[in-house]
Amino acid sequence: MQQGKRETIAVNQLGYRVKDSKIAVITGEAGLFRLIKQETGEVVWKGRTTAAREDAASGVTVCRADFSGWEQAGTYSLETENGQRSDSFVIGEEVYGDAHQALLKAFYFFRCGMELEERYAGDWKHGACHLSPAIVYGDEKRRVDASGGWHDAGDYGKYVGPGAKAAADLLLAYEWYPAAFAAAVPVPESDGVMPDVLHECRYELEWMQRMQDAESGGVFHKLTTLRFPAPDTMPEADADELYVSPVSATATGCFAGIMAMAARVYERFDRVFAATCKAAAERAWDWLELHPEAPGFRNPPEIATGEYGDKQDADERYWAAAELYRTTGEERYHEAFLRLSELAFDKYELGWADMGGYGTISYLLSERAKDSAVAERLRVGLHRHAEQLAAVSRNDGFGISLRPEQYIWGSNMLVLNHAMLLLIADRLAETAGYEKVVLDHIHYLFGMNVIGMSYVTGFGSRPVKHPHHRPSEGDGVDEPVPGLVSGGPNLGIQDEYAREHLTGRAPAASFADVMESYATNEVTIYWNSPAVFVLSHFV
């Protein structure tokens, strides 16, 4: 399928649950297809594809093969009358459990500040890293302990906003699907009492608390070295000075939101920790109130690492107010939420730069949401947004909710954020109308795409092998760290490799499985987190 073309039948390489819709996408003209049982070679199902049509995003002619009616467990492949053959796949009662565990375990592999022992990390073990106190940029005589937390991506930076988005996805997944987290991952803190997903989030939350400025209550935007280390640098070998960048309103708003959320989630397991989260959230809110016109964050002059700049902080304040109101019931937070809800920003997105969706979800889930007019307006808006996503999916050749122009840096985050939002819309409406659409998003992630690859390391017959991830490049292990979600196709071709090799490709085909293509093949915590949420619904 365009890149490394071997098969022209794209399937979910993990397989399909017995009762779920089972779709494959075939490039080329419409025709007959058959389902082959691998063990015997027997043809167990025959069908005709949908009519062929041009797919703008992928740049190819596609048709769909639907074999949802076959519900017998086994290992299968698909063939067409033209001799095309798919990768083999399974049909079974449970096909996503291992991937779900690996997507969650990836956060352990992203940990900073501790040794990853062979007992938990296997071949991907490495030493403790980034333990030295960090310099406060602009106050070079001052140093703070900012150890711990998760490395953000393929580099070793740590960022409050993206970390809050990732932790929020995981905490929401736990709140909504606790049974999906019954099994131990395991992680060093596993105790059989608190689910491992909460142990993992706590590791990040405790780091965030260290990023709160003790003097002001504001939150430092990020912690990085001045520049990224070489691509094969292991974390324990990255010995450059660490810097915390100045306090920002976006980081402080995200911090207040996630801490207020954590105070609620952790209350039943650790009241002391929950109380520290609540106090930290309230102190951060006080900073936000004292700085209503804080400027957007920009990298200081000497710092060339990821900026995560954000010109607008209304969405982060909106999320913070919603979570603080839901957790505390204090009217001042409700009044702030209602005031912020009148401002013009996206109230349904779930990205690190647009956190408004988390505020909307929190408010609609809150038993304290007594302003029925605002709640109804938000509920209608959420479902309108979900229906727009579903409409795009129904017209897309591979069944996902991205328009051609949305294949941007981290397009797989959009795929998964959209799937997450569709599930949330269903839950709030007490329906299951979007479940088949969401399944197509999962199928896409694990191989039903024009590249014909699984975008998750270690999973599928053709998984990503060379992500832009320094530990996977530098550890001497042939296979990359498993369970990492690749960023995916990016029409922006914003790295040298992409400019040389991907120029002119269709948006959905603008992908390269090479370490050098950081604009298409990097990994991050906040691409993994919505994947955990979405798969939690199906395990």
Catalytic residues: 155, 468, 513, 522
Residues 6 or more apart whose CB falls under 8 angstroms from that of 74 comprise: 37, 38, 39, 90, 91
Q: Which two tokens stand for residue 52?
A: 């062929």
Say if residue 15 is exposed, middle or buried (CB neighbours under 10 Å; 0-12, 13-18, 19+): buried
Q: Is the peptide bond before 229 cis (omega within 30 degrees of 0)?
A: no
Between CA 438 and CA 314 the distance in angstroms is: 29
Closest to 108 (Cα-Cα) out of 126, 95, 121: 121
Residues 6 or more apart whose CB falls under 8 angstroms from that of 95 comprise: 14, 15, 16, 17
Alpha carbon separation from 308 to 4, 245, 271, 297, 353 (Å, rounded): 33, 12, 33, 8, 8
Residue type at position 334: H
Residue with tokens 């033209």: 82
Q: Which residues pair with 45 in a beta bridge?
A: 35
Q: Which two tokens stand for residue 386?
A: 């979900």
Between CA 78 and CA 84 the distance in angstroms is: 8
Alpha carbon separation from 120 to 109, 124, 163, 245 (Å, rounded): 9, 9, 22, 32
Helix residue ranges, H only, 396-501: 411-429, 435-445, 470-474, 496-501
Between CA 352 and CA 527 the distance in angstroms is: 10
Between CA 509 and CA 490 the distance in angstroms is: 8
Q: Would you say 179 and 494 are in contact if contact means Cβ atoms under 8 Å apart?
A: no
Q: What's the Rg (C-alpha) of the chain? A: 23
Between CA 380 and CA 372 the distance in angstroms is: 12
Neighbours of 430 (CB within 10 A): 6
